[in-house]
Amino acid sequence: MTLTDTHAHLYAAEFAADITQVMQRSLDHGVHKVYMPNIDLTTITPLLALEQQYPGHCAAMMGIHPCHIGPDFQSQLYQVEAWLHRRKFAAIGEIGIDLYHDATYRAQQEEALAIQLAWAIQHQLPVVIHCRASWEPTLKILEKHQDGSLRGIMHCFGGTVQEAERVVALGFYLGIGGIVTFKNAPLATTVASLGLDHMVLETDAPYLAPTPHRGRRNEPAYLLHIAERVAELQGVDIATVAQATTTNAHKVFGNYMAEHEATHTRERHGNIESR
C-alpha cells in the first residue's frame, strides 16, 4: 500500500532534531511521497536542502504563504519568480488568502494570489491553495483565472458538500487532512458524500495532527490515520483509499519527483566522476 502526503512542512524547525527518524517512520507507514509547500523567503533554503537530501521521497513547491504577504510583497514575488525560471518545482504553493487573524493586507494577498496563479498557467504548474476566512474572494479569483489549464489542490479543505462541489467544478482536488478525524467534525459528512476521485490526502505537518495524536507534532506517518477515517466514511478498505488518492496526487503533480530524482542522480554521479 502506498500513500502520498500532498502537504507537509518537513523542513520546519520542529523536525530539525529527528528528521531521519521522521522519514523512516513515513516509509514504514507506507507514505512514499511527501510534497512540501514553501512559506516565505526564509524557508527556501531548508526546503530545497531537504528535497536534495531525499530526492525520491520529498518534492518542493515554490510560492509565498498568504500570512507572509505584506507591504513588500512585490520584492518577495520577484525572488519567487526568479526561482521559477531557475529550476522546476512540483507546484506553486502554498498560496492563497488568509483573513482569519488579520485582514490588513487583504488587497496585497489578493494581488499576490492573482500573480502567482498567472505564473502557474505560464509554467504549466499546479497550485496549492490556502483559503482561511476568505472563501468567496479566493474562489472568485480562482474562477477568474481558470482558463481550462489551471489545476491544483484546495489545501486543508473543511467545507460543506456545496463548497466542495464548487472546488470540484473548478477542476481542483480537495486536500483532506487531520480535521476529518476530529470528533463531530462537519467535514466527515462532506467526505462521506463525495467520491474518492475528488480527494487527496495531506497532513500539514507539523500542524493539525489527526486523532489520536491531536495536539502533538504532526508527521507524514500519521497520514495512515487520515486514510483510515476516509475509508470508514466511504465504506471501503484503506487500500482503496490509498490507491485512489495516490493516483489523484499523480494527476496533480505528474512525474515531477521521478524526474527530479533522476536529475539528482545524474548530477551526483557527475560530481563523483569529476573528482
- In whole angstroms, what separates CA 167 from the centre of its chain? 16
Q: What per-residue confidence (pLDDT) applies to 259?
A: 86
Please, which pLDDT band fits residue 266 given cuts at 50, 70 and 90? Answer: confident
Contact 94, 207 (CB under 8 A): no
First to last CA, the chain: 40
- Report d(CA 27, CA 193) in Å as an integer: 30
Is the per-residue pLDDT at 273 higher than 80? Answer: no
Is the per-residue pLDDT at 45 higher than 90? Answer: yes
Q: What per-residue confidence (pLDDT) applies to 70?
A: 94
Is the per-residue pLDDT at 275 higher than 70? Answer: no
Q: Which CATH class is domain 3-268?
A: alpha beta
Contact 128, 61 (CB under 8 A): yes
Spans of all domains in the chain: 3-268
What are the contacts of 46-55 at 24+ separation with CB within 8 A?
A: 46/11, 47/11, 49/11, 50/10, 50/11, 50/19, 51/260, 52/264, 54/23, 55/257, 55/260, 55/261, 55/264, 55/265
Please, which pLDDT band fits residue 269 given cuts at 50, 70 and 90? Answer: low
List pLDDT tens digits, range 198-253. 999 999 999 999 999 999 999 999 999 999 999 999 999 999 999 999 999 999 99
Is the per-residue pLDDT at 271 higher than 80? Answer: no
Is the per-residue pLDDT at 264 higher than 80? Answer: no
List pLDDT tens digits, range 147-204. 999 999 999 999 999 999 999 999 999 999 999 999 999 999 999 999 999 999 999 9
List pLDDT tens digits, range 121-146. 999 999 999 999 999 999 999 999 99
List pLDDT tens digits, range 14-28. 999 999 999 999 999
List pLDDT tens digits, range 63-121. 999 999 999 999 999 999 999 999 999 999 999 999 999 999 999 999 999 999 999 99
Q: In sequence order, which ranges of 124-218 are alpha helices (DSSP H)? A: 135-145, 161-169, 187-193
